[in-house]
Amino acid sequence: MDYISTRDSSQTAAKFTDILMSGLASDGGLYIPTAYPDVDRAELESLRTVFDTDGYAALVAEILKLYIDDIPAEDLEDIARRAYTAEAFGTDEIVRLSRLDDRVLLGHISEGPTAAFKDMAMQLLGELFEYVLTRRGAKINILGATSGDTGSSAEYAMRGRDNINVFMLTPAGRMTPFQQAQMFSLDDDNIYNIAVEGGFDDCQDLVKAVNADAGFKSRYSVGAVNSINFARILAQVAYYFALYFKATSTNDQLVSFTVPTGNFGNAYAGHVAKFMGLPIDKIIVANNENDTLATFFGTGRYGTGSAWVDSQVTSSPSMDISRPSNFERFVYDLLESDAGEIEELFSVKVPTGGFDLGEDPNFAEAIDSLGIVSGSSTHADRLREITHAHENLGTLIDPHTADGVHVARQNLDVTNTDIIVLETALPVKFADTITEAIGSFPAVPERFAGIEGGERFVVDLPNDAEAVKEFIAKHAAEKEN
């Protein structure tokens, strides 16, 4: 399996371990496989058997083997076993499925160390980094951006690793107190929390700007843990298979998924699983008030046409993103691998306001053929869903999952299947909104007791790529000496 950049018309091939280390392609594009593996019915049945017999880690290893040919198969099995343990996820089951009501199920993928679905990928990514770096005798400086959950998941997966430094950009003052505490309470000497004035999109733009400096990126071995790193997507593809197997008894059945989304990595992983052959009817993309994607899937318009507006601050902060990185991968598939058009759209048009594919009379048909539908929620919608689930269904859900439940209900008539809503975080991370909805503070798991009362380790930097590079250079040099 080889990988190419979404913006490279020459289709220069790279291997998995190389794209793992670099994250973003040098031309600013995102890496994708040259072709998605085709999982036919026989192989799907084999994967079901592996999952039923040997468990989640074994299933992950089989998915990885379809995409990675420069790490031995037995090593991938060991890597997956180390990543997915009962100690990290609270149970050997790793992912769970429960029924919310007649048509809607919850896919529980947020039982990891930081109570967010990002742990499902980050625990694997940490093991993959460690494996490759050890064999190369190398070090990496990870630069990431977070709107809340990616940062803590990455830091908990990478903390204490001698050959990895993590520099995580956060939008100053825009995460919940619990999310801030999870990150800023870490004082490991390889973890650097950086608060930047602005929103997540500004942080993500800084990551891209630093990566665009090829000399700096090479000198300081800058890598990525955001879902721009395709390894994150692979890890997420696996739980779509697992949840499908849990929801069905045979591979002739269809299911649909509703995915609360911010940077579109989670939803894109579902799209990849469907491309591979997993029997998914619809991928239902759920936005909050920052409804860039819902607008695109409904109209073909991406952006304002003039200048991007700042993302709104909402009660589902991990989704407060207006320019999702993984959307570029989806558009590449939508445009049937036209790298030249992707270069024009994302290098030229997106920086100046966006683009409109809805002018193509075949746009709606193309979106429908991919099985994508969308919707969005408001703060009031999320409060209603949290209250209803708590009072009538005996379940407490966080505001991001509530967004997914609301949009799933909006789209019950677009599919005849059950709809699995991906639970993206535990309620404790968003206590203010939960308290507003149900009138009481959510229960705090024992492992998080007192987390908000500790010391904070975070530095403030201006929204400036040069300032970020200077900070990385200074601290990376200190580690080398």
Catalytic sites, residue numbers = 118
DSSP code string of 292-322: HHHHHHHHSEEE-SS-PPPPPP-SSGGG--S
Q: Give the up-direction half-sphere exposure of residue 174: CA atoms within 13 A in the CB hemisphere.
A: 29
Q: How far is CA 84 from CA 46, 119, 124, in A?
A: 20, 10, 8
Question: Could you tell me the sign of the dihedral formed by the alpha carbons of 245, 288, 434, 157, in that order?
Answer: positive
Closest by CA to 269, choosing from 301, 244, 299, 303, is: 244
Question: Could you tell me the sign of the dihedral formed by the alpha carbons of 226, 227, 229, 235, in that order?
Answer: positive
- Give 96-99 contacts, CB < 8 A, sequence gap 24+: 96/246, 97/243, 97/246, 97/247, 97/420, 98/395
Distance CA 470, CA 481 (A): 17
Beta strands in 122-220 (DSSP E): 140-145, 164-171, 191-196
**Which one-letter amino acid corresponds to residue 372?**
I
Distance CA 297, CA 364 (A): 8
